[in-house]
Amino acid sequence: MSDTVVLFENIHPLADRAFQVAGLDVERHTSALPVDELHDRLAGAKLAGIRSRTKMNAAAFDAAPHLAALGCFCIGTNQVDLETAEARGIPVFNGPFGNTRSVAELTLASVVMLMRGVPMRSAAAKRGEWMKTATNSHEVRAKKLGIVGYGNIGSQLSVLASGLGMHVYYYDVEPKLAHGNARSCASLDELLETCDVVTLHVPSSPQTRNIMSREAIAKMKPGSFLINHARGDLVDIDALADALAEGRLLGAAIDVFPKEPASKDEAFVSPLQRFENVILTPHVGGSTLEAQAAIGEDVSAKLTRYLSQGSTKGAVNVPEIEPGDVKPGRVRLLSFHANAPGFLMRLNEAISATSANVAAQQLETRGQLGYVASDLEGPLPDDFMDRVNALEGSIRARLIYPD
C-alpha cells in the first residue's frame, strides 16, 4: 500500500506535521481537481483530505483502492458518499468544532451591520450619496436574536450576543442547556414571530432542507432580518427575495447558497444581488486562518490515530472505538464486518486456530456495520489475513504493529 496522503483544496499546512510524523509523504493540490485528474491522484493514496468542493462519490472511491480513511477538512460531509465509504470500511472524519468561533463572529458582525443599516448606507456612499439618517438604524442591545439550531456555533453565538445585551431565543429539536440569558422556544414558529433577527445554524438534512420556506418566512416578525451562515439549501431564496422586495424583511446576510460557483472563474448569480440591504459573502463563514489551522490539526490527528491505533473516534460513518496505543509484544487486528450474528465467533475461531491469544478486544456496531479491535499475543501464520478476509461478513481488515 502507498504511504501517501493526498490533500486537495489548499488544506492548511499545519496538517502536514501529523502526516510527516506518521511517515507519510504529503502530496498537495491547491484546488479541487477535474474528475479524471482527481481519480488519477487518488489511485495511490493511503489517506486523502478534501474540503467542500471535491466530490467523493462511488466512482472516486472506486479510483482509490488503497484508501484507508478520508478527512473532510471542514464541518460538512455532504460532498461525500458516506454509504459507499461505510460499505467499504473507510472511516470519514471531519472538523466539526474548528471554525465555530469564526462563524459565530461573522454572524454577530452581520447582526450589528444589518440592524444599523450599514450595507445600504455603504452602497449609497459609494454612489456619492450621504445617507446620514437614523431611520431603520438600531442598537442591538435589548433586541431579540433568534438562533435556529443550538449546537456548537449557535450556543457560542448565544454567549457573544448576550455580552452585547441582546435577548437570545433559540429553537432546537433536541433539549439543549441554555447559555447566558438564552431561553428556548417551544416551536420554530414561536421564534420566528418573536425575534428581530433570525439566524440559522443547523446541518443540511431531510428535516432541515427548506426550513425557511415561503410559509416560514411569512411568519417572521415584520421588519426583521434573516441570516444564513449554515447550509445553502435551508432557505427558499426566491421567497426571501420577495419578502425583501415587499419590505416585510429589512435585510439579510447570506453566506451559503443553493447553487454556488464551482470555482472562482464561474460567475455567481443570485436573485439577492439586486438588494442593497443584503450582505452576500462567498461561503467564508469558517474561512479564517485560525479556523483552517485548527481544522488542519484536528482532522490530521484523527486520520493518523486511525492509522496507528485504529481509533475511529470522531468518524461520521462508522462505529466509534478508541483502543489506544498498541502495547509492546502485541499486534492489533482491526476488522470491519457486516453487523450480523456470528461474525465475532468466526473471527475468534480463526484466531484460536493459530498460536495467538486474544489479550484484549473491543467491539462496536452501528447500523449494518460492525468494527472490532483485537489485540493479539503470539505468532500469526503468513496466511492469517487471508483467513480473516475470507470470513463470512468480513469487509476489510488490517494489522497494526507497535511502534
Contact 34, 55 (CB under 8 A): no
Q: 167, 179, 231, 305: which one is catalytic?
A: 231
Q: 283, 346, 366, 398: which one is catalytic?
A: 283
- The grid coordinates listed for 197 are 433577527
- The one-character DSSP state at 271 is G
Contact 253, 113 (CB under 8 A): yes
Cα separations in angstroms, 45 against 1, 24, 41, 48, 92: 8, 10, 7, 7, 15
DSSP letters along 278-328, please? EEE-SS-TT-SHHHHHHHHHHHHHHHHHHHHH---TTBSSS------SPPT
Reply yes or no on whether 51 is catalytic. no
What are the φ/ψ torsions at residue 252 (nearest 5 degrees)? -155, 160
Reply yes or no on whether 66 is catalytic. no
Q: What's the rounded Cα separation, in Å, for the pair 24 and 255? A: 36
Task: Determine which helix (DSSP H) or strand (DSSP E) holds 348, and give its type and residue range.
Answer: helix 343-352
Task: Give 78: exposed, middle or buried? Use CB within 10 Å, 0-12, 13-18, 19+.
Answer: middle
Q: 105, 260, 320, 322: which one is catalytic?
A: 260
**Beta bridge mates, 315:** 93
Contact 73, 37 (CB under 8 A): no
Reply yes or no on whether 231 is catalytic. yes
Of the chain, the end-to-end C-alpha distance in Å amounts to 18
- The one-character DSSP state at 238 is H
Residues with a known catalytic role: 231, 260, 283
